[in-house]
Amino acid sequence: MTGYSLQRAWVDGTVLDDVLVEVAGGRFTRVTPDVAAADVPRATRLDGLTLPGLANAHSHAFHRALRGRTQRQRGTFWTWREQMYDVAGRLTPDSYRELAAATFREMVVAGYTSVGEFHYLHHQPDGTLHEEPNAMRDALRDAAETASIRLVLLDTAYLSSGFGAPPEGVQVRYSDGSGAAWAARAGAGPAAIHSVRAVPRDELHHLRGRHPLHVHLSEQVAENDGCLAAYGLTPAGLLHAEGLLGPRTTVVHATHLTDDDIELLGSTRTNVCLTPTTERDLADGIGPARRLADAGCRLSVGSDSHAVVDPFEELRGLEMHERLATRARGHFTAAELLDGSVQVVVAEDWAEGMGASLRAGLAALAGLGEDVPSVVVSLVDLPDLVPQVVARVVGGAVGGAGAAAGSLARAAYDGVLGVPTFDEVLTMLAEESARHGRSVGVLVELKDPAHSASLGLDLAEPLLDDLRRHRRDHSRSRVSVMSV
């Protein structure tokens, strides 16, 4: 067990002081705030503000070689692509390993501790297999190990230069010839569709059921136009028709979307990765980040082409791009930008009762298969139950003393299962008031008196009895009671 005493740390959506972090087997086992450094002399002290390691959800490691070259002149995404193809045509497994290691090291220094590598540079320059068919993929894995960054390698299918046309030029390095050949070489594991223009519709079924699954989506208007001409569908509509959207899929960029696309991505709980520094460097456009989040998509960021490697600049870019697009400020809070561990599901039919929330949550869970680490069920509607609170409850249940995978946790107070009684709440108020040296108040929420009366219960007298016993039955008691 290794311990770290953090002067300040980002925990549950806020900054806390003197946080003790315990690590065993390369995993965090406990995070405890308000532990003075003097009380844990063996823990390593880290001054300043500590954040959890951040995930770079979209990377093309070899694009790093283009930094400072493509910015010299005017152009578009398509002129940039020709320069990128030139680099792609010259890389060998050895030079790829060296370049990727340098890129990954830069990520680690910037604060990334994991990376999703969108890998499509598979073969030799003439399109033939390397002696070891996955030599380029192995080079990336070696580079990640050298840089000490956790790698999710997304083996990418790339079969066409555009909506069924054969690969051209350096693209032969990317193509396995068919979806079946790609699947045979790639094997099981994380995967990606380069784009709907690069994988024909009749080959997409080879990617169905792969997870995690990533795909470039609607980065360019030309992609949308080509997809509509070829299939009569937008790229998002095509992926949905082929059963490829959902909570295990992440679409990258999602820049040029229709209103129906946004609704479709949100209703399927598809994840969206935006890459603001690359999207502005390539003049792609500004994606509808806030609308996607509001629709139900979880957002992530990536450094993509590595014109800039700075997770905070990517997160800042989400907010700043929204300001430019809407001419209004304040679209994302810091907590929203930093938190990516909890998915919020909106029950559109909430007015039907608490069962609607449970149905919506179970429907979302069903789409996640067996990869659900824990479930929190609230027995009342709590519209302000923010992700940070859920994360804290889950952390306590899964990482708490005596808890284990497959266990069932429930609320407890003072060592007793269940919620505290009103008498216990008033006792706690007295203790907290004494501890803080000032009066601490409480807002008590009760069912409407008519509801209690219909059950033959009279709550008024027991409530007043508790208030009198704790000397809180006066106007200065700072106890408020409301009924709903």
Classify residue 410 as exposed, middle or buried by CB count within 10 Å of its CB (0-12, 13-18, 19+).
exposed
Strands 271-274 and 249-253, sheet pairing? parallel
Residues 6+ apart with CB under 8 A from 67: 306, 307
**240 is known as an active-site residue:** no
Among 12, 155, 284, 304, the active-site one is 304
Beta strands in 178-298 (DSSP E): 191-193, 213-217, 249-253, 271-274
In sequence order, the 6+-apart residues with CB closer than 8 A to the CB of 212 are 116, 152, 154, 190, 191, 248, 249, 250
Q: What type of residue is 173?
A: R
CB-based contact 466:420 (threshold 8 Å): no
Which residue is catalytic, options 253, 256, 321, 331?
253
Does 304 qualify as catalytic in the annotation? yes
Alpha-carbon distances of 333 from 190, 318, 329, 339, 363, rounded to whole Å? 31, 11, 11, 10, 28
Q: Compute how many other C-beta atoms are within 10 angstroms of the C-beta atom of residue 173.
A: 22
In this structure, what token pair is assigned to residue 473?
């039955």
Pick left, alpha or beta for residue 122 (phi over 0 → left; psi -120 to 50 → alpha; otherwise beta). Answer: alpha
Q: From its phi and psi, is residue 139 left (phi > 0), alpha (psi between -120 and 50) or beta?
A: alpha
Rounded-to-5 percentages of helix, strand, coil across the chain? 40, 20, 40
Catalytic residue ranges: 253, 304
